[in-house]
Structure 1
Amino acid sequence: MNKPLHKNISLLIYGFLVVATLAAYWPVLNHEFVKYDDDKYVTENPHVKRGLTYESVIWAFTKPHFHMWHPLTSLTHLLDYHLFGLNPTWHHLTSLLFHLASTLLLFGILKRITGSIWPSAFVAAAFALHPLNVESVAWVAERKNVLSTFFWMLTIAAYIRYAKCPGVGRYLLVVVVFALATLTKPMVVTLPFALLLLDYWPLGRLQLKRLNKEQDSSLTESAQVARKGVSVWRLLVEKIPLFVLVGALSAVTFIAQQKGGVMSGWHNVPLKYRVANALVSYVTYISKMIWPGRLAVFYPHPLNKLPVWQVVASAFLLLAITVAVIWLARSRKYLPVGWLWYLGTLVPVIGLVQVGSQAMADRYTYLPFIGLFIMIAWGLRELSANWRYRRIALGASALAVLLALSICTRLQLRHWRNNKALFEHAISVTGDNFVMNNNYANILKEIGQVEKAIDHFYKALRIRPNSPEIYNNLGNAFRRLDRFDDAIECYNNALKLQPGFPQAHYNLAVVLSRQGKSDEAVAEYCLALKFRPDDVETLSNLGLVLAQKGHFQEAVEYYKKAIELEPDNIIAHGRFGLTLAALNRPDEAIEQFKIVLEASPDDIEMHCNMGILLDRQGKTDKAVEAFRRALQIDPDYKKAQGLLNAALSKQKNR
């Protein structure tokens, strides 16, 4: 193919990838945040809600973000909030653009190192449009997945440049870009191994005596000419700096997840269960790639419920495929590369090191499926080599597959539009899903369907009776119904199962405070802060209880810390203002009230509080204005009318 035509076709493919990806994913821009990790990553994270500040940047680099250390990912969340606040459209758009960028990079990389336009285009399009990737793109909390893949692709692009013409400067660029990748997500630890696979095929740098003697029919002539053989030893040595970064990232990740308590012990999930689930998951992912149905945001771990025949059959199938691709490796090097890419990139998340209680996850296939797509694209090209109408058949088949994937992606996106849709769908397509029943119950509770929520909490407890989180949430539902004794029993059950559970201590304190047991409430709030010292709600509520007890100066300190952590928390500002007023510090109190009213101008009570303080300072005219603003919001508010009448009376008597 001549170069101008080659270039024009490439540009058309780039355009197709952009249009197809945006068309498939455009509805995501109208989606909400979901209350399944989005709250912990963004919407209720006090550090993220500071925006991009010196303090928040320091936090991103020095503290784990929801049990993971990925500072570059955290910075993207900080920047999104700084620019767009909590408007979900822009957060979703950022993730979509990273997905699109990775798609374009993938096509460019494969085209460059293989010289094959159409197989490269199919792999990139399948990556862009496969419905299992919806979870990574539509879930704001999975920013780390799309961002890490973007830097994964950049690292490979830099490595290809180095491999074509080795030099110190080019190698340093590889190390720097990979170092940035390690700041996005721990899953990139497999990238140096993926580079070794690319050294074997299509770069052809790996010198294996028998296998490299033959011409590789999977590559174009220009790609074969560019290949330069290098010894295995040298290829390993040149990647030592990358392996050092992998070791450091692995250590940091292990510490963060162990401290966060998300890593399951061997007593919870024994090794035999992990191995069995891993074998079955490898095969299940392949089946979902072929037939992407019944997808869910959470698949419960089967533990000891997997049939022996399924485990044995999965192991046999994986072994058979592995033997086959090795047997065919001499003339079809893309087969072992694609297969080992799939197996290898899944290793960190296949469940041998169990983090969380899921069996598998759609998002885990985001990178690994590229290996399978490579096997399919180059395999079909070779199988169809002698077909009479090869181009028409392959082109029509590819377009039909991509159209089907696009439709499935659109359908899967519908389930991500809001919390209710996401959790309802997950419950409907999975069995014994305690996590989704728990999450769905929380949403029902928030929209006022508390009795129905309690039913789902009990369903979750029947599946997982030793879950402190579910007991805590059930207690919150009882609290909504003012069934305080039932709520207290649930919180105590949660604390028996997990001593020091901060949320249970917090919720128990709330109930005790509502029952008028201030001393006990203070004790529980203090215990909550012991285990979660930066929780803004706990700090603010503890300040409130202390102020109600007359301990105003102590309350001030807790309000200050709450506001320092979350400057736009108007509840803390309002309570702080009232406490300052009680300490006879009216000017400072008025400043706090102004902050509240700037953020919430229709806060009637705050207008009244402002007016009362102004009146005490002798600023009756300004007090009258404040009371009148309150009455403009609600003309029937008797308290504001009474305060206004008293202030007007003062004006007349001056």
Structure 2
Amino acid sequence: MRLSTLLCLVMLVVTLALFSRTAGFDFINFDDPGYVTANSVVKGGLHGGSVAWALQSSEMSNWHPLTWLSHMTDVQLFGLKPAGHHLTSVVLHTVSAFLLFLLLVRLTAMPWRSLVVAGLFALHPMHVESVAWVAERKDVLSGLFWHLTLLMYVAYVHKPKPWRYLATMGCFVLGLMAKPMLVTLPVVLLLLDWWPLNRFRRDQAETAPAPRTARHLFLEKVPFFLISLLSSAATIFVQQHGGAVQSLEKVQFGLRLANVFIAYVRYLIGMFWPHDMAILYPFPTEIILWQLAGSILVLIAISAAVFFFRRRFPYLATGWLWFVVTLLPVIGLIQVGGQSHADRYTYLPYTGLSIIAVWGVSELCSSLSFKEKALAALSVLTLAVCAVMTWQQLGFWRNNITLYRHTLAVTSNNYLILNNYGIALNQEYGDADGALAAYQEALRIWPNSALTRNNLGTMYLAKGRYAEALEQFREASRLDPGEPMVMVNAGRALAKAGRLNEAAEQFAAALRQDPAAADAHLQLAILLIKSGRSSEARPHYEAVQKLEPSSARGPLTIAVELAAAGMVGEADGYFRQAMTIEPNSLDVNFNLGVFLAKQNRLDEAAHCFYRVLQQKPDSDLAKNWLKRIGR
């Protein structure tokens, strides 16, 4: 036991060292803005108002207050420097691996097998997405409480006390407040009652900590099932109202059902042959019949074998059902998002397959005279391969460009990622032509994408091709009626074309659709200021400040627009306001630097660009501007 504990510590150190590579990685523009970098409440850190917001917010189409509080704590400690946010996830993942080791040792009294399962959890390359993606903090945080809940449950089973039962339930609730995927945990508690706790088996009462009738065991879990039911109902409600759930018109039920079987088999393959991993696998537009038939046969065969051997090898039933059941909330019957499956969904389910693999291989090798050496060598080799593959997969998560280029290389028809790739090319590299090409390719793949139409319109708008921009915005509005952002962008195009009254009508329409649309308030304020109606603009500007009290986006956007219109004096004042609110913001410092450079205030401009490079040393845009001003 001492040696296994020491090796567990070695495994944890390796995990920390391996994933600490993410400290040098950027945020990405896929969900990270919504969770951290562009979320005005989260960017304000921890305070009474933000805590209250976290407890009631349904933003990002989920109710997960503990996740919001976690992100706010990171901002409070590290600001918007990505290193701290990444390392928090690494620490949570490492602690979770340790808790899994303790859990399996308490359950089975088999430290060596427990160590290998924990090692697979810690080092499997399919778990890179959950750890390296800041927006997936909910995965590692809920995983921590998942393992704590199971540990508390085992403590309760061995020494039943009311406070242990309540502590188990408390950890479960906290886990659901981090990610509602934990709704299947009550079923896993029953699976553990079957094996290894043996609470269903009266004939083995001497080995069971607390043998009970099946009826008692089910009644014992009723409060947990009720909590899961409430969490599921709340999640479905929030996701439907947030627009995350795809309607049957968009994704037919037959296609969803067929994809369920194929996705399960893909997850199975990914456990033993992780390859071509990507941040998003597009949902198929059609199902290949032989793949569906083969997947159904594979799942039926495995399930039949598990049922046949359920008494002789009870770990098969626990492991297989752990895998199948924990995937149910995200398997796609209720389609959320545009993915057919996702690496992050394996974070907890793969423990079931790991138990089957480790216990199964140990059973197969039980008759070998050199069993211990063979298993030790195989375990070390497997974990080493996992570590190497994880290191390689981590490299793709360095920044937007490396991540999206890899994803586009290993997937096809991925119009959603082409959209994010275009945004990254434009914003980070100033490659407007590359962004335009990415959007056009995305539109070729899926012409009915309002998102792509909107993005393409913004590129035409930036290039001064106002008529083409308006055409794209009108088409986006037809595809997604009532979307405030499309209305705002159409208003921006009309304003640039000099059609100010029509622009104002678009901004007003967006505000009727959503009175809290900060972008509509902001653009209307800009329009009124440029028209010399500053007094009318003030209520809209104040609305932006109220909606985004900790964000410099409002004054910065107005400053940039005023500077472009030649209203230098007014722009300078708004730039100063932006600096007061977010003195360390990359956007504020870069745009202020450009403004100052154009006013020939070179020393001040250089200072701004150097501040950008302090936080982002590889910023080509800042380096290029320093060259332009001779610094």
1:283-432 matches, cutoff 5 A: 283-304=265-286, 306-432=287-413
How far has the Cα of 1:283 moved from its partner?
A: 0.7
2:563 alignment counterpart: none
Gap change, CA 1:152 and 1:21, over 3 Å in 2? same
How far has the Cα of 1:532 moved from its partner?
A: 4.3
1:70-469 matches, cutoff 5 A: 70-207=64-201, 213=203, 225-304=207-286, 306-446=287-427, 447-469=429-451
2:56 alignment counterpart: 62
2: CA distance between counterparts of 1:381 and 1:577?
67
2:604 alignment counterpart: 633
1:482-561 matches, cutoff 5 A: 482-561=464-543
How far has the Cα of 1:398 moved from its partner?
A: 0.7
The code of the aligned residue for 1:312 comes to A
How far has the Cα of 1:319 moved from its partner?
A: 0.7
2: CA distance between counterparts of 1:82 and 1:520?
43
The code of the aligned residue for 1:469 comes to L
State the secondary structure of the residue aligned to 1:495.
helix
Higher Rg of the two aligned structures: 1
| Structure 1: gaps spanning 5 or more residues | 1-5, 216-223, 579-588, 610-627, 636-654
1:647 alignment counterpart: none
| Structure 2: gaps spanning 5 or more residues | 561-570, 607-631
Q: TM-score, normalised by structure 1?
A: 0.85
2: CA distance between counterparts of 1:460 and 1:280?
25
The code of the aligned residue for 2:19 comes to Y
Gap change, CA 1:483 and 1:376, over 3 Å in 2? same
Whether contact under 8 Å (1:556, 1:576) holds in the other structure is no
The code of the aligned residue for 2:142 comes to S
Whether contact under 8 Å (2:40, 2:550) holds in the other structure is no
2: CA distance between counterparts of 1:122 and 1:593?
56
2: CA distance between counterparts of 1:605 and 1:196?
58
User: Which of 20, 25, 29 is residue 26 of structure 1 equivalent to?
Assistant: 20
The code of the aligned residue for 1:377 comes to V
How far has the Cα of 1:61 moved from its partner?
A: 1.1
The code of the aligned residue for 2:353 comes to L
How far has the Cα of 1:487 moved from its partner?
A: 0.7
Matched-pair identity in %: 39
Whether contact under 8 Å (2:4, 2:112) holds in the other structure is no
1:590-609 matches, cutoff 5 A: 595-598=577-580, 599=582
Gap change, CA 1:275 and 1:90, over 3 Å in 2? same
Whether contact under 8 Å (1:472, 1:504) holds in the other structure is yes
Gap change, CA 1:437 and 1:335, over 3 Å in 2? same
Whether contact under 8 Å (2:169, 2:224) holds in the other structure is yes
1: CA distance between counterparts of 2:302 and 2:483?
46
Whether contact under 8 Å (1:49, 1:566) holds in the other structure is no
How far has the Cα of 1:571 moved from its partner?
A: 5.4
2: CA distance between counterparts of 1:73 and 1:634?
38
2: CA distance between counterparts of 1:348 and 1:20?
32
1:471 alignment counterpart: 453
Gap change, CA 1:180 and 1:597, over 3 Å in 2? closer
Whether contact under 8 Å (1:214, 1:331) holds in the other structure is no
How far has the Cα of 1:504 moved from its partner?
A: 1.1
How far has the Cα of 1:281 moved from its partner?
A: 0.8
2: CA distance between counterparts of 1:317 and 1:174?
36
How far has the Cα of 1:74 moved from its partner?
A: 0.8
Gap change, CA 1:384 and 1:634, over 3 Å in 2? closer
How far has the Cα of 1:594 moved from its partner?
A: 5.9
TM-superposition CA deviations, 1:286-345 (whole Å, max 9, x none): 1111111111111111132x2211111111111111111111111211000000000000
1: CA distance between counterparts of 2:367 and 2:556?
77
The code of the aligned residue for 1:37 comes to D
Gap change, CA 1:332 and 1:44, over 3 Å in 2? same
1:52 alignment counterpart: 46
Using the TM superposition, name which of 324-333 and 446-455 deviates more: 446-455
The code of the aligned residue for 2:235 comes to T
State the secondary structure of the residue aligned to 1:98.
helix
State the secondary structure of the residue aligned to 2:340.
strand
State the secondary structure of the residue aligned to 2:245.
coil
How far has the Cα of 1:125 moved from its partner?
A: 0.2
How far has the Cα of 1:514 moved from its partner?
A: 1.7
How far has the Cα of 1:390 moved from its partner?
A: 0.8
State the secondary structure of the residue aligned to 2:40.
coil
1:623 alignment counterpart: none
State the secondary structure of the residue aligned to 1:106.
helix
Whether contact under 8 Å (1:98, 1:150) holds in the other structure is yes
Name the count of aligned residue pairs: 590
Gap change, CA 1:172 and 1:513, over 3 Å in 2? same
2: CA distance between counterparts of 1:556 and 1:493?
32
Whether contact under 8 Å (1:33, 1:140) holds in the other structure is yes
State the secondary structure of the residue aligned to 2:122.
helix
How far has the Cα of 1:541 moved from its partner?
A: 2.3
Using the TM superposition, name which of 591-600 and 164-173 deviates more: 591-600
How far has the Cα of 1:237 moved from its partner?
A: 1.0
Q: What value does the CA root-mean-square deviation take over the aligned residues?
A: 2.7
Gap change, CA 1:110 and 1:488, over 3 Å in 2? same
